[in-house]
Amino acid sequence: MSAASDTRTVVVEREVPHPPEKVWRAIAQPHLLEEWLMKNDFEPSIGHRFRLQTSWGFIDCQVLSIEPNETLSYSWAAMGVESVVTWSLAPTEKGTRLRMEHSGFKPDQRQALTGATAGWQRFFAALEELLARTQ
């Protein structure tokens, strides 16, 4: 049995110059999610099971919690790694503080942690690009 403190987390936090409602659409609407993350059959509904399609296969996910324009959390299972992605949005004077936490990596899952760390940097860059060019 390993305690939660034995796990590692990837955190990416940025302030983006867009209102929470716009950022929310980008992380919770399937067609927008596909533009910056991956092909998917996501629905913003608690308990909904969905898949993200990657070049190497699928990531199996399930919506765990949802508070429109504030938080979204879903499980993320791939290649034997079970983890959780949680998005938090908070309004700021200039837009939105967007925080993504990808948690649950065990100490022996260093390769998955390294991959997630690099991957989320790329995904965030693509998300910011999408936000800049959409209404």
The domain segmentation of the chain, as residue ranges, is: 7-133
Q: Distance between CA atoms of 77 and 48, rounded to whole angstroms?
A: 14
DSSP state of 68: T
pLDDT tens by residue, 78-130: 989 999 999 999 999 999 999 999 999 999 999 999 999 999 999 999 999 99
* pTM, entire model: 0.94
The residue type at 59: I
- Residue-level pLDDT at 5: 65
**What angle is formed at CA 3 by the lines to CA 111 and CA 107, rounded to 5 degrees?**
15
Q: Which fold has domain 7-133?
A: Alpha-D-Glucose-1,6-Bisphosphate; Chain A, domain 4 (3.30.530)
